[in-house]
Amino acid sequence: MTDVDRLHRHLEERARIATVEATPLASIVGRAKQRDRRRRAAIGAFGVAAVGGLAVGALWMGGSDDKEVRSVDSLPGTVETTPSLLPADSTPAATTMSAPGTGGESAFAAAIEASGLLTSPSADDAAQATDNDLYRDGDVGMQISSVGNSVSLRRCRDSESATCGTGWAYVTEVAGGGEVHGGLLGEASPVNLQLQLLDERYFVASESAPDAQAPSRAWLIDAVSGQAGVLGWRDEPTTLNSPAQMLLLCEESYNSFATHCAVVRGPDAADGGWQFLPTEGGLPRVVDARDGTIRPLAVPDDVVAGLPVAQHGTGRIWIGTDPDGDRLGLAYSDDGGASWNEVALPQQISATSEELATSLLPYGDDLLEIAADGDRVAVARSWGGDNNTVYVSDDAGTSWTTAASEPGGNGVHLYVLADGRLVVMGSIDTRPNDLFASTGSDWAELDNVDFQFADPESLSDKRFSVNGAGVAMIHSFMYPCDGAYPCPGYTMDEAERATLDTIDVSTDLRNWSTIQIPNP
């Protein structure tokens, strides 16, 4: 008898011997009507509170029926002009990490504010977004910045007495739980929304578009104020991760005159390096690292939705293509996009577009992942491939070798650290679960990142946030028993409650420092 046969037999026996009572239908109907009455009463009470001007933020990380309510100091629409990203007693003075943008007054933040892109959600929006009966965990992961600010996406759930009005909502929380805000997004596709971290404060929720003809949507969210604004994208919002820059490319949406489009982290700016760049003439722009100029980025005609762009300090831009419309390709430019050199991908990774188009679900991240540093480039199938193999080339794609390690999970993400090493992150959906880094300049030699300070039993549920500037490991989101009950050795709060406790950060994956996040 095979293991699976044994499992089947046991499950069937358990189902057969289960003692389940046959509840009369009338009892079910009575329960339903009672629920209706309670719901109406609750809605009435909430309406009175709203008229009274009370701002209410539900504790969004609790159980769905837990109606713990956390009061907030300010109305959801109130914007702090000089936001404090950490509570005063949690300033990471003991840390060694240089975290750009933690001052809260970066040029990036100032430019965002000046642009008028972000607007405050109404009190009704905020109340909806934080209502656990209307929205639940979006199952697209939560992103947490290295100072503990977080954004969580929530999706509409069926509610007996009310409709959500929009498919997606978000909830932001300032480090330590001092402030909770919520707002509504649009009707994004439920299968391919994702959340990206820009810096300690700003996050992008983006819908990837499997069809290049259909403009996808994205929203910029400020975790501190709870404000958000719609970004119009050329296609898949494309993240450029490098120590020098992080770029999201976009252009005006087809049916609007939106001018807020590109978010760029510029190189070596004294204030922390963030710049916000509205588009010009509908073209996405890129900081050309060769001379620091900002110019529109021309892309090859065969660039399609979902294909990434990567650029390192050398200025070379790598981009995924779809030559002839039937296969994946790769190209690079050394002149800011004026001309492009096509490169052959490893055969194993070069799935046809038809394969991708007919895959089970058309995720935008179904395509290719690129990390590059000059001639050195690493590629992997981000999603949908048969394996998670990472291929590395030291000669600009002329020849490829297979990296020594294969990350677990069902998605692969690649990054380049400031010291030039490759970081490979395996993920389950959008949740990071496996981390490797090259041992030196040879990207094919990958070692598991050694978290000497962490409980090994908990590492299977570690949460990471990675970008070119470094890695943040979020301890509070480890579930020792993967959510199972009971969880011996852990209290319920330790095992289940999603609160921020500490975040270990490192810019080189060798030296770590800990940021303490006080919980109320």
Partner 1 sequence: MDLTPARATVRAAKLEPVRSDALEYVAFSFADFYSVNHASVARALSVTLGDDHLATEAVDEAMARAYQRWDHVRGLESPGGWVYTVGLNWARSLWRRSLRSMSIRDRESESDIAAVQCSDLDLDRALRNLSLDQRAVVVCRHLIGYSELETARVLGIRPGTVKSRLNRALTGLRSSLADTDEIGRRDGR
**For the chain, what's the residue count?**
520
- List binders of partner 1 among 126-145 (CB under 8 A): 139
Sign of CA dihedral 35, 41, 42, 44: positive
- Judged by beta carbon, residue 15 or residue 93, the one nearer partner 1 is 15
DSSP H/E element including 343 = strand 341-343
By CB under 8 A, is residue 481 in contact with partner 1? yes
Candidates 20-28, 40-48, 235-243, 417-425: pick the segment binding partner 1 (CB under 8 A).
20-28
- At closest approach, how far in Å is the CB of 28 from partner 1? 5
Q: How far apart are CA 298 and CA 277, in angstroms?
A: 16
Report the residue from 2, 27, 82, 452 that binds partner 1 according to the rule CB under 8 A. Answer: 27
- Judged by beta carbon, residue 23 or residue 82, the one nearer partner 1 is 23
| Contact between residue 277 and residue 285 where contact means Cβ atoms under 8 Å apart | yes
By CB under 8 A, is residue 484 in contact with partner 1? yes
Q: Closest Cα to residue 57, out of 183, 221, 180?
A: 180
| Contact between residue 217 and residue 188 where contact means Cβ atoms under 8 Å apart | yes
Q: What end-to-end distance do the CA atoms of the chain give, in Å? A: 54
- Judged by beta carbon, residue 430 or residue 467, the one nearer partner 1 is 430
Q: Closest Cα to residue 419, out of 317, 267, 313?
A: 313
By CB under 8 A, is residue 358 in contact with partner 1? no
Phi/psi zone of residue 374: left (φ > 0), alpha (ψ -120 to 50 degrees), beta?
A: left
Q: How far apart are CA 440 and CA 365, in angstroms?
A: 28
- Judged by beta carbon, residue 419 or residue 490, the one nearer partner 1 is 490
Q: What is the DSSP letter of 63?
A: -
Q: What is the DSSP letter of 446?
A: E
Report the residue from 98, 482, 510, 511 that binds partner 1 according to the rule CB under 8 A. Answer: 482
Report the residue from 268, 270, 485, 520 that binds partner 1 according to the rule CB under 8 A. Answer: 485
By CB under 8 A, is residue 103 in contact with partner 1? no
By CB under 8 A, is residue 489 in contact with partner 1? yes
**Amino acid making up residue 102:** T
- At closest approach, how far in Å is the CB of 466 from partner 1? 20
Number of residues that bind partner 1 (CB under 8 A): 58
- Judged by beta carbon, residue 36 or residue 455, the one nearer partner 1 is 36
- Judged by beta carbon, residue 488 or residue 520, the one nearer partner 1 is 488
Candidates 226-234, 271-279, 285-293, 488-496: pick the segment binding partner 1 (CB under 8 A).
488-496
By CB under 8 A, is residue 357 in contact with partner 1? no
Candidates 14-22, 203-211, 224-232, 413-421: pick the segment binding partner 1 (CB under 8 A).
14-22
Report the residue from 2, 3, 82, 213 that binds partner 1 according to the rule CB under 8 A. Answer: 3
Collect all residues with Cβ–Cβ distance below 8 Å to 341 and sequence separation of at least 6.
331, 332, 333, 334, 396
By CB under 8 A, is residue 493 in contact with partner 1? yes
Long-range residue pairs from 284-289, CB within 8 A, at least 24 positions apart, any chain? 284/234, 284/249, 284/250, 284/251, 286/240, 286/247, 286/249, 286/311, 286/317, 286/336, 286/337, 287/245, 287/247, 288/315, 288/336, 289/244, 289/245, 289/313, 289/314, 289/315
Report the residue from 125, 288, 369, 496 that binds partner 1 according to the rule CB under 8 A. Answer: 496
By CB under 8 A, is residue 37 in contact with partner 1? no
- List binders of partner 1 among 143-182 (CB under 8 A): 158, 160
By CB under 8 A, is residue 326 in contact with partner 1? no
Backbone angles phi, psi at 453, to 5 degrees: -90, -10
**Amino acid making up residue 178:** G
Collect all residues with Cβ–Cβ distance below 8 Å to 389 and sequence separation of at least 6.
348, 349, 380, 381, 402, 403, 406
Reduced 3-state DSSP string for 119-169: ECCCHHHHHHHCCCCCEEEEEEEEEECCCCCEEEEEEECCCCCCCCCCCEE
- Judged by beta carbon, residue 9 or residue 290, the one nearer partner 1 is 9
Backbone angles phi, psi at 113, to 5 degrees: -65, -45
Report the residue from 2, 65, 73, 324 that binds partner 1 according to the rule CB under 8 A. Answer: 65
By CB under 8 A, is residue 410 in contact with partner 1? yes
By CB under 8 A, is residue 51 in contact with partner 1? no
Candidates 175-183, 200-208, 336-344, 475-483: pick the segment binding partner 1 (CB under 8 A).
475-483
By CB under 8 A, is residue 456 in contact with partner 1? no
Q: How far apart are CA 92 and CA 391, in angstroms?
A: 38
- Judged by beta carbon, residue 191 or residue 294, the one nearer partner 1 is 191
- Judged by beta carbon, residue 73 or residue 386, the one nearer partner 1 is 386
Residue 449's alpha-carbon distances to 174, 371, 471, in angstroms, are 28, 18, 11
- At closest approach, how far in Å is the CB of 17 from partner 1? 6
342 SS3 class = strand
By CB under 8 A, is residue 17 in contact with partner 1? yes
- At closest approach, how far in Å is the CB of 231 from partner 1? 24
Candidates 92-100, 181-189, 368-376, 409-417: pick the segment binding partner 1 (CB under 8 A).
409-417
By CB under 8 A, is residue 18 in contact with partner 1? yes
Residue 196's alpha-carbon distances to 199, 229, 233, 267, 315, in angstroms, are 9, 15, 15, 20, 23
- List binders of partner 1 among 359-388 (CB under 8 A): 360-361, 383
Site of interaction with partner 1 (CB under 8 A):
3-4, 6-23, 25, 27-29, 31-32, 35-36, 63-66, 139, 158, 160, 191, 360-361, 383, 409-411, 428-429, 481-493, 496
